[in-house]
Each structure stands twice: as C-alpha cells, then as structure tokens.
Amino acid sequence: MKQVGIALVVVLGIVACSRIFGSPAKKACDNIRTKCDLDGKEADECTSDFDKLENAIGKEPADKMFSCISSADSCVEIMGCGAGLAQSYGDQMRREMERGMAKMK
C-alpha cells in the first residue's frame, strides 16, 4: 500500500512539472482543448501546428499569442487572441510592403 502511495505522488509530481514547465505552445493547446472542447486529430496536431506558426512569425509574437491563449477564459477569447495576432502581423506586413514600395520610387 505504501508503494502505491509513493507511485501516486511520483506520477502527480510528473504531471505537475509538465504543466508548470511545459512549452508555451503545449500550454496554449491544453487551454484550447479545455475551453473549446477540442479533441481528436485537431487536438493531436495543435502543438506541431503552433511550432510551425512560431517558425513562420517568430518567437516573440508567437509567445505573446501563446500567453494570450493560455490565460483565456473562453473559446471566444481564444479566437480573439488569434484575431489580434492576425491584425498585428498584417500591420507589420503592410509596413514592410510600404518600405519596399518607397524604395522603388
């Protein structure tokens, strides 16, 4: 019986550590699963999709989005985090495009 208790404490410790020290993308995906009732293939691919997104947009904007998603209280708020990223990234792309166009004048 004592061994079962020790094993339970070890397992709970591992789960707690993975929650505390897990990647920002994994924490965001966990919150999406919970708040948006996501499961199946989409849930399984969430972390790898977020890793691809981070490679595309950079670490700083991705971490900001992961933080927003991880702290969101509802699925709608999570959608707002994504919309905010799209708007911010779109503004950045527009500025870069304008800079390139100015060079061609």
Give how many domains the chain has, as a whole number.
1
Whether 14 is in a domain gets the answer no
Whether 12 is in a domain gets the answer no
Whether this model's pTM surpasses 0.75: no
Inter-residue long-range contacts of 18-27, CB under 8 Å, 24+ positions, other chains counted: 23/47, 24/62, 24/63, 24/66, 24/67, 24/70, 25/50, 25/51, 25/54, 25/62, 25/66, 27/66, 27/70
Whether 2 is in a domain gets the answer no
Which of 2-11, 17-26, 42-51 has the largest mean confidence?
42-51
38-91 pLDDT, tens digit per residue, is 887 777 789 889 999 899 888 988 999 999 999 999 999 999 999 998 888 888
pLDDT top residue among 71 and 10:
71
Structural domain including 60 reads: 24-103
